[in-house]
Structure 1
């Protein structure tokens, strides 16, 4: 997490210096903006947001995103003594409504400057988990799960939106701490022995498929689902066009 802030801060400093040197005309107050999240493109996430000035430095934003299979960030599979899986790919979508308040003393025009806000984020992802299981009798099984993960999170955020020309801005979302509720569902496509689920849970505890899977995650033969709450965090950079 700490390493991601280095390029964000460098880009912030360079862009701030460019903006002050260019001294463009920011007298026009546009009340609408569309923006594209930049860091998420690395992971195959395409998020577009629409922001609208409401009243007295308050704005409302709605972001929509699609996650494709492509992306540089990969999730390696399990590689235990009994349970092994292939590399995991997932697809899905995100919906992110926000409310922001821009500090007047830092705003050169509408929709710019330092801001405080609150957000709600809902994500739904689907994936196939395929692998092999070697039980205590040394019998080898192939398994395949259709997996879905839904995440509902809410929190607060602080950031700075920098105008770089008459129409373009760069939005630095510096920090967005919050709390998320995670729901996992597994649909088993192949028959497996009962002992598989205990061994699978043990493999998940020793080696996480996703960073937020922890000891609260448990999967049973009868109820192939799990849910828990955990800390969540947002950050990012977006390129915006005001009109």
Structure 2
């Protein structure tokens, strides 16, 4: 009698233990994340938050928005002049990038958002910065007021990999992103340096900028300058991004 009476209780216990695993677990389709790598590349003023939404087992889309900035140029001294102070007086910037992801099921053991993915992306950056330089040339100190306004759009195709740890945490790595970009740049510079001194300064300034932002080599000159143009982003490092996220 005791054995018979205990059987229903034992059945309920076993059902409770094993039945929980048989109940489908809720899919975590949303991820919020923080861009960890761009502040190292573009300065600590750069801040971007993101969101990824899983559409099915092999597709998702994501969007990242935040504040855009560029590194300050502090080491641009030459044998002819020295920059004593480089101070940002005012700055505003905006960054947004969106992508559509195809997770490669043949290459991945798991469904989205884990594993290798490819897909198109589009990015827009805006920056408006006022800077004051104190420059020493031939032992004479001069001031230079510099305003930069930049609009930058890039579209391309990216390759990445996303890791998932403990079901909730993600590490999203964009490994490559070749594409094509357009820029609209306006600079306005006021200084009491003579033309020869200005030329020496801007040669060094453009050399310092070269390679930091694709497409902007050798384009900053004295006075008020407006330039527009296009450029290719074929180097793998430019689109490299590392995001740390949380799924829910």
TM-score (norm 1): 0.69
Q: How many residue pairs were aligned?
A: 211
Q: CA deviation at 1:220?
A: 5.2
> What are the superposed Cα offsets for residues 157-213 of structure 1, whole Å, 9 maximum, x if unpaired?
1111112122222212222222333333223355665556544443345x3235347
- For residue 120 of structure 1, the aligned residue among 122, 128, 132 is 122
Is 1:132 aligned to 2:135, yes or no? yes
Q: 1: CA distance between counterparts of 2:110 and 2:25? A: 8
Tell me if structure 1 keeps the 8 A contact 2:87–2:132.
yes
Give 3-state SS (helix, strand or coil) of 1:104's partner: coil
Shift of the 53–125 alpha-carbon distance from structure 1 to 2, 3 Å rule, reads same
How far, CA to CA, are the matches of 2:170 and 2:149 in structure 1?
36
The answer on whether the counterparts of 2:105 and 2:111 sit within 8 Å (CA) in structure 1 is no
CA contact (8 A) 1:67 1:92 kept: yes
Alpha-carbon distance between aligned partners in 2 of 1:159 and 1:172, rounded to the nearest angstrom: 5
Any stretches of 5+ residues in structure 1 without a counterpart?
1-25
Q: For residues 185 and 200 of structure 1, what CA distance do their matches in structure 2 show?
A: 18
Q: Which moved more, 1:78-87 or 1:44-53?
A: 78-87
* Contact 1:76/1:87 (<8 A) preserved: yes
Equivalent residue number for residue 208 of structure 2: 208
Q: Which residue of 2 aligns with 1:108?
A: 110
User: Are residues 30 and 130 of structure 1, via their aligned partners in 2, closer, same or farther at CA, if it must alter by over 3 Å?
Assistant: same
1:118–1:156 CA contact under 8 A, matched in 2: yes
SS in 1 for 2:27: coil
Larger radius of gyration: 2
The alpha carbon displacement at 1:116 in A equals: 0.4
Structure 1 residue 236 displacement after superposition: 2.2
Distance in structure 1 (CA, Å) of the matches to 2:110 and 2:57: 14
**115-124 vs 140-149, greater mean Cα deviation:** 140-149
Q: CA RMSD in A?
A: 3.3
Please state how far the C-alpha of 1:115 moved relative to its aligned partner: 0.4
TM-score, normalised via structure 2 length: 0.68
Q: Structure 2 regions of 5+ residues with no counterpart? A: 1-23
